[in-house]
Amino acid sequence: MYEYDRRLLVSHRFICSLLDLSREKGFWFTGSKAWDCVKWNYGNVLISRRAISEWFSRPEISSYRFPAERLGGRRGSRAFVAEHVYPTRSLQALVLAKFSDKNPTEREIADLLFRFNRICYVWHEENEALDRAGFRSSMPKSADEGDVHGRYREIGIDPVETSFRNGPPLFKQLNKWRQERVSPGVAISRLAASNS
């Protein structure tokens, strides 16, 4: 069994256990980092156009873990923030609403996590804008239940789908293109083309 399959199996069992507990005891448990075992990235990572532009325009940034503080950002945060496109709290509420009467199948959980549980690398200022708008852990009231990118649209974050499963290989490729003097626009086109 591959690591990916194991994560889906653990996520499914965990969610079903919480749903059973909710029906049996009348409460929905979401606190104390309980959902960390479900917060893995499913599918490929995304990256904002702004993050790509900043990467190419700032040669002093040598890693996606570069401290934002050195660029005028918050102390202790990174220049490129890996954040959930659909907040975990919103995902928790969605799971309870969809499956309060009957536990989901493994396929239903896989479909849900692939759609809603994704990571996007955003520029630290975009992350701060999400916080200021009150969207750190919630969706805009105007967003439909299935509107995965509602927060981003609300504040102008433009995500680009990639073919990378996680951040390190994505930034390794972006670094290679930067060394080859590829423009940000061409890099975006190549990232988008790799998903067609």
- Among residues 97, 80, 91, 98, which one has the least CA distance to residue 139? 91
Task: Specify the pLDDT at position 11.
Answer: 93
Q: Where are the alpha helices (DSSP H) in the chain?
A: 3-25, 49-57, 88-99, 106-116, 124-132, 150-155, 167-179, 184-193
Q: What is the pLDDT of residues 53-111, one digit of tens each?
A: 999 999 999 899 999 999 999 999 999 999 999 999 899 999 999 999 999 999 999 99
Element (H, E) at 119: strand 119-123
pTM: 0.91
Structurally, how many domains does the chain consist of?
Answer: 1
- Write the pLDDT tens digit of every residue in 20-47: 999 999 999 887 688 888 887 888 999 9
The percent of residues above 90 in pLDDT, for the chain, comes to 78
Burial 3-13 (b: 16+ CB within 10 A, else e): eeeebbeebbe
pLDDT at 125 exceeding the cut of 80: yes
Position 145 confidence tier, pLDDT thresholds 50, 70, 90: confident
**Is the pLDDT reported for residue 196 higher than 60?**
no
Q: Tell me which amino acid residue 81 is.
A: V
Flag whether pLDDT at 3 surpasses 80: no
Instruction: Please give the torsion angle defined by the CA atoms of residues 104, 110, 112 and 115, in that order, rounded to the nearest 10 degrees.
Output: -170
Question: What residue numbers bound the domain in which 123 lies?
Answer: 3-193
- The answer to whether the CB of 80 falls within 8 A of the CB of 87 is no
